[in-house]
Structure 1
Amino acid sequence: MKMIGEDDFMKIKRVFILDLASLGIGESADANRFDSVGADTLGHVFEDASLDINLPTLTELGLGNIRYQNPIAQIPEVDNPLGSYGKIQIAAPNNQVTTGLREMLDYQAEARTTSVLDSVAEVDPLDNKVIILSNYQSYFSNQLQSQNIHVNDDTSVWWSLHREAIRQQSGVVYARMSGLDHLAHDGKKESYLGELSKIDGNIQRLMNEMFSTDMLIITSSFANDMRSPLPVTREYLPLIGYLPSGRVGKSLGIRRSLGDIGATLAELFNVEVADNNIGHSFLREFL
């Protein structure tokens, strides 16, 4: 694949956003305000160190590097991660299933808008194609400029995602995984681990399918530690960015709002935002 250097970095034309809904990585700084002290979705499903399950692709992308202070035996830190990595939190003063989603994709603009997804499509309606792959969410149904594809299970999400990946296009493909959340609600730890393993394999396939002008962002819009009686726990969420260039990833640090993802899309696709936008783009930090 063609290498992406600093001079042609802005030639990135398409972004895949993979939302591993429910995957938290440890209590956030404000966990005490949401009865979530000690919450750690990823850590608790991997708490049995003897489990013969690992996530090779996510490990190589830097998932273990995010948790260098609280390592998981099956997801070690790597010296030269393929992805840029960090952790991100929700800034909103509430903690519902859709809170993080809205914070991720809504942004402050001078004129009223539905989300950054619709704005990306409006910036260049001839070239930019925005596709949403998700189970039914009323929020997505209001994205009038996006192609909203309702899918009932994660197998269908992956099938559609791989189909889109092999088409060289401009725009955004947002894919929301719902299976992990269902398994967390049911308290099925072994099934949750198995689903993570399937996700890991599909991410590797997606990385192989990506064009040199693509970018991948892996995150989660909320956390759900199955140890907690709460449907949503207040945790840091993973943030991994990948470019198919072979370069070593960098630390993105701790991001203070999921709005940083929307701000990154806005910068990449030249969407105007207001000066008081809470999100801060991390696009340049990939360099």
Structure 2
Amino acid sequence: MNFRRVIVLDLASLGIGESSDANRFDSVGADTLGHIATLEGSNFQLPTLSRLGLGNIRYSDPVVGLPPVEDPIGFFGKIRSKSEENSKLSGLREMFDFQTATRTTSVIDAIVGLLGVHSILISDYQSYLSNQNQAEVIPVNTDDAGFKELHQQVIAPNNGLLYYRTLGLQENAISGNRQGCIDSLKTVDQHLARLMRELYSTDLLIITSTFANDPALDVTPTREYLPLIAYTSSSPEGKALGIRRTLADVGATIGEIFGLEVSNESIGSSFLGELK
């Protein structure tokens, strides 16, 4: 597929169940999505994310209100962090950094410096993002402002990378406000429905999370598997992407799309070839 732009929607704080190394991070029993959903029970519904395959990720252990759908339109799987650190920024570094023949850099800067396309980052202040010298960083402090900017950027015919890190879910998860988490996810779901209508046929939308934060546990962040959904309007029939062992697979996919030269020392593996 000839993708010209990748849009990464980072649902920061959204985990989907304890990871295989959860015991090392005091996160046994963590399940951000599952514990949020139990507050509303069968009334918990995210129709757009469900159509994309969010419920299919947990087909053997369904989240209440999010059963698997028969014909998901997204490519779906789960992904985890490989980093020995578990913080709100370690996932970002793992996702976007890669090794060239001479140094470590990020796909964010590299695609601008080498290829002359855009990298646009929409987020509250995060030092990692602000240090991407080649990128345009658009500061926002609410999801209302963030999604407004995201929609404006999506309809513009630019090539490159567009990244948005949502704010409401992580704020409510930190404070232990499960109802606030539900409201934030429903807001995301509504904007996703609009976003999918705005995409160009050469756009790839990747929905994931760079860290988890189960409001039902005292530890912050929690070590969990994270959702991974990829969608393109040019391929409306999705399938499973399996379990990805590192967030670096997202960066590796972006790198392959834009033809970056990645060293064999980089830990990520592209899933671009699976999107068909």
- Aligned-residue offset at 1:49: 5.7
SS state at 1:225 partner: coil
Select the residue among 45, 51, 64 that pairs with 1:73.
Answer: 64
Aligned structure 1 segments of 4 or more residues deviating by more than 3 angstroms = 48-51
Amino acid at match of 1:44: H
Decide whether the 8 Å contact of 1:100 with 1:258 is kept in 2.
yes
Amino acid at match of 2:100: A
SS state at 2:228 partner: strand
Counterpart check, 1:46 vs 2:43: no
Counterpart check, 1:61 vs 2:47: no
**In 2 relative to 1, CA 247–50 (structure 1 residues): closer, same or farther, beyond 3 Å?**
closer
**In 2 relative to 1, CA 213–80 (structure 1 residues): closer, same or farther, beyond 3 Å?**
same
- Aligned-residue offset at 1:123: 2.3
Q: Any residues of structure 2 matched to 1:100-111 within 5 Å, and which?
A: 100-111=91-102
**In 2 relative to 1, CA 187–14 (structure 1 residues): closer, same or farther, beyond 3 Å?**
same
User: CA deviation digits over 1:123-152, x for unaligned, max 9?
Assistant: 221xx1110000001111110111011111
- Aligned-residue offset at 1:73: 2.7
> Which deviates the most, 106-115 or 16-25?
106-115
- Aligned-residue offset at 1:279: 0.2
Q: Structure 1: 5+ residue runs without aligned partners?
A: 1-8
Select the residue among 170, 174, 183 that pairs with 1:185.
Answer: 174
- Aligned-residue offset at 1:225: 0.3
Alignment partners' CA distance in 1, 2:67 and 2:44: 13
**In 2 relative to 1, CA 223–50 (structure 1 residues): closer, same or farther, beyond 3 Å?**
closer
Tell me the residue number matched to 1:162.
151
Select the residue among 86, 93, 116 that pairs with 2:77.
Answer: 86
Amino acid at match of 2:210: S
Decide whether the 8 Å contact of 1:123 with 1:270 is kept in 2.
no
Tell me the residue number matched to 2:89.
98
Tell me the residue number matched to 1:4.
none
Select the residue among 117, 121, 127 that pairs with 1:138.
Answer: 127
CA RMSD of aligned residues (A): 1.1
Tell me the residue number matched to 1:3.
none
SS state at 1:161 partner: helix
SS state at 1:77 partner: coil
SS state at 1:266 partner: helix
Alignment partners' CA distance in 2, 1:64 and 1:53: 12
Q: Any residues of structure 2 matched to 1:146-225 within 5 Å, and which?
A: 146-225=135-214
Alignment partners' CA distance in 2, 1:64 and 1:46: 12
Counterpart check, 1:35 vs 2:26: yes
Tell me the residue number matched to 1:22.
13
Alignment partners' CA distance in 2, 1:180 and 1:111: 38
Decide whether the 8 Å contact of 2:39 with 2:179 is kept in 1.
no
Alignment partners' CA distance in 2, 1:134 and 1:49: 29
- Aligned-residue offset at 1:245: 2.0
- Aligned-residue offset at 1:113: 4.6
Aligned residue-pair number: 276
- Aligned-residue offset at 1:111: 2.6
SS state at 1:104 partner: helix
Q: Any residues of structure 2 matched to 1:241-280 within 5 Å, and which?
A: 241-280=230-269
TM-score (ref. length: structure 1): 0.94
Amino acid at match of 1:115: S
Decide whether the 8 Å contact of 2:100 with 2:263 is kept in 1.
yes
Counterpart check, 1:118 vs 2:118: no
TM-score (ref. length: structure 2): 0.98
SS state at 2:56 partner: helix
SS state at 1:76 partner: coil
- Aligned-residue offset at 1:276: 1.5
> Which deviates the most, 16-25 or 74-83?
74-83
